[in-house]
Amino acid sequence: MIELTARKALREFDLDVELRFAPGVTVLAGPSGAGKTTLLRIVAGLTPPDAGEVRLDGRALHRDGASVPAFRREVAYVFQDYALFPHLDVLDNAAYGLAARGVGRAARRATARAWLERLGIAPLADARPRELSGGERQRVALARALAWTPRAVLLDEPFAALDAETRAGVREELRTTLASLGVPVVLVTHDEADVRLFAAPVVRLERGRVVR
Amino acid sequence: MLRAAVATASALFVLFIAVPLIALYAHLTPARFAATIATPAALDALRISLLTTAASLALTLLLGTPLAYALARGRFAGRAAVDALVDLPIVVPPAVAGLALLFVFGKMGLFGPALGALHVRIAFTTFAVVLAQTFVGAPFYVRAARAGFAAVDVTYEEASATLGMGPLRTFARITVPLALPALAGGAVLAWARALGEFGATIMFAGNLQGVTQTLPLAVYLGLESGDLDLAASLAVVLVTVALVVAFGARALERRAA
C-alpha cells in the first residue's frame, strides 16, 4: 500500500494530492502536464515534495522533510523512454537490480534470464538496447524493474514510445504481468484508450488535483 | 584564383608544421640515436618524465574527476566562477604559473614558513615537477571530463538509483563507463601536456639531472651545453609520443562516433 500526501509547486499550478494505491494496478490518467510524472517521481524519491508524506507498507519514505533516498526505497520505476543502460547487454540490464542487492553473478543471471523468458525475449539476452525494437525495449525495461521483486512498481507512459500496432499487443500482456505481482502498481497514461482497455481502478489528475 | 590561393596557404601551413619535425628526425642516424638515448642524462630524463607524468596524471584523475562531475551536475554558488578558474591555467603563461607556485610553496612563499617548520621542502624537488605538471595539465582533463559527464543523460543515473544502486556505485557502473571516451581523451591530453611542460617546471622545480630534469628540460640543457645529439634524441622521443597521441586520439574519436 502506497500512502501519499504531497504538495509541490509546478510551473503553472501546484500539485496537491492525497492518495492511496492498494496492491494491484491503478491507472493514473490525465492530460499531459497534469503533474502525473511529478507524482510518480515523488513516490520514487527522484523529486522531493515541498511538503507531505510518503509511506510504503507503513514505512515512511518521506516525512517532515526527511527522505529515504531513491536507492533504498525498493520502488521500481519504468521510465517513459525506458532508460536502458546502453553499455550493458539485455541480460545485465535485467540483472542490474539484483546486482545492486549483492546477488551473485550466476544467481542473478539465472533470475534475470527467467524473467526474459517469461516476457518472451530470452533470445535477446546478449543484444545491446540500441539493437532492439520499441516493444522489445519495453519488455527489457519491465524485466529490469521486476526481476528484484520491488515493493511497488511505477510506470510512466509505458506505451508512449510504441507504435499503435505494437501497443495493442503489449497492453494485454502487460496487464497480465502487472496484475500478478501482488504489490501496488501505478501506471501513468494520458491515452484514454489505455484507460478503457486496462480495466483497472482509475485516478484522474488535472492541473495537479485529483478529479473524480 | 581563389582556389590556388587556398591551396598555397594550406600547403605553406602544412610544410611549416611538418618540415621542422622532419628536420628533427633528419638530424640523427639510428645509430647515434641509440647511443645517445643510452647515456645517463637521457635515461635519467626519461625516468623522471615517466615518473612525474604518471604521478601528475594520478593526481589529476583523483582531484579532477569529482570536480568535473560537480561542474557538470551540481548547482552550487560560484559554479560559473569555478568553471572559469579551472580553465585559467590553459591561458596563463607556464613561466608565470611556475612563479606563482614558487610564491606559494617556495621558501619565501605563502606556506614557506609553515613548510620550513615541518622540515618539508617542495620547491626544487621531484614533487614540485608533479605539481607544475598538474597545474598546467589538469585543466585539459577537467574540461573534457566535465563535457563528458554533462553528456550522460541524468535519467540513466536515476534509473540506477531506483534499481537500488547507491550514488558511488552508480557513478562507477553507469556514469564513468558512459563518459569513458571523453574521460580517456581528456586524460591523454592532460598527460601529453604534462609531458611537454617546461616553463613552470624550470621556474618552480629547477633543472637538476635525476631529480627534476624532465625530457623538455634535458632538451634545453642539451642545446645550451652544445650536446645537440642529446637534444635531438630526446626531442624525437617527445615528437613521437605527440604523433601517437594526436593520431591515437583521432582514431578513438572515430570509434566513439
How many Å lie between the alpha carbon of B175 and the closest alpha carbon of chain A? Answer: 10
Q: Taking the C-alpha atoms of A70, A76, A79 and A84 in order, what is their torsion angle to the nearest 10 degrees?
A: 100
Residue B165 inside a domain? The answer is yes
The CA distance from B166 to the nearest CA of chain A, in Å, is: 6
Residue environment code for A72-91, b if the CB has 16+ CB neighbours within 10 A, otherwise e: ebbbbbbbbebbbbeebbbb
Distance between CA A44 and CA A2 in Å, rounded? 11
What pTM, to 2 d.p., does this model score? 0.90
Nearest-CA neighbor of B206 among B135, B128, B131?
B128
Instruction: Give the ipTM of the model, two decimals please.
Output: 0.95
Q: Is A137 on the interface with B (CB under 8 A)?
A: no
Tell whether A115 is within 8 A of chain B (Cβ).
Answer: no
Closest CA to A16 of A35, A29, A41, A40: A35
Three-class secondary structure of residue A77 per DSSP: strand
Contact between B177 and A144 using a beta-carbon 8 Å cutoff: no
B window 135-194, beta carbon within 8 A of A: 153, 155-156, 158-167, 169-170, 174, 177-178
* pLDDT by position in tens, chain A (length 212): 999 999 999 999 999 999 999 999 999 999 988 999 999 999 999 999 999 999 999 999 999 889 999 999 999 999 999 999 999 999 999 999 999 999 999 999 999 999 999 999 999 999 999 999 999 999 999 999 999 999 999 999 998 878 877 887 788 888 888 988 999 999 999 888 888 887 889 999 999 999 97
Q: Which residues of A touch B163 (CB under 8 A)?
A: 71, 76, 96-97, 100, 144-145, 148
> Residue B70 domain-assigned?
yes
Q: Is residue B6 part of a domain?
A: no
Count of structural domains within chain B: 1
In this predicted model, which residue has the larger pLDDT, B1 or B31?
Answer: B31
B20 domain residue, yes or no: no
Residue B132 belongs to what domain range?
A: 40-256
Helical H segments across A52-133, by residue range: 90-94, 96-100, 105-118
In B, minimum Cα distance to A94 occurs at B163
B153: in domain: yes
In this complex, is the C-beta atom of A21 within 8 Å of any C-beta atom belonging to chain B?
Answer: no
Per-domain residue ranges of chain A: 2-74+151-211
Within a domain: B239 = yes
**Would you identify the CATH topology of the domain A2-74+151-211?**
Rossmann fold (3.40.50)
Q: What is the CATH number of the domain that holds B148?
A: 1.10.3720.10
- Establish if B24 belongs to a structural domain: no
Cα–Cα distance measured from residue B128 to residue B125, given in angstroms and rounded to the nearest whole number: 5
Q: In this structure, is residue B16 part of a structural domain? A: no
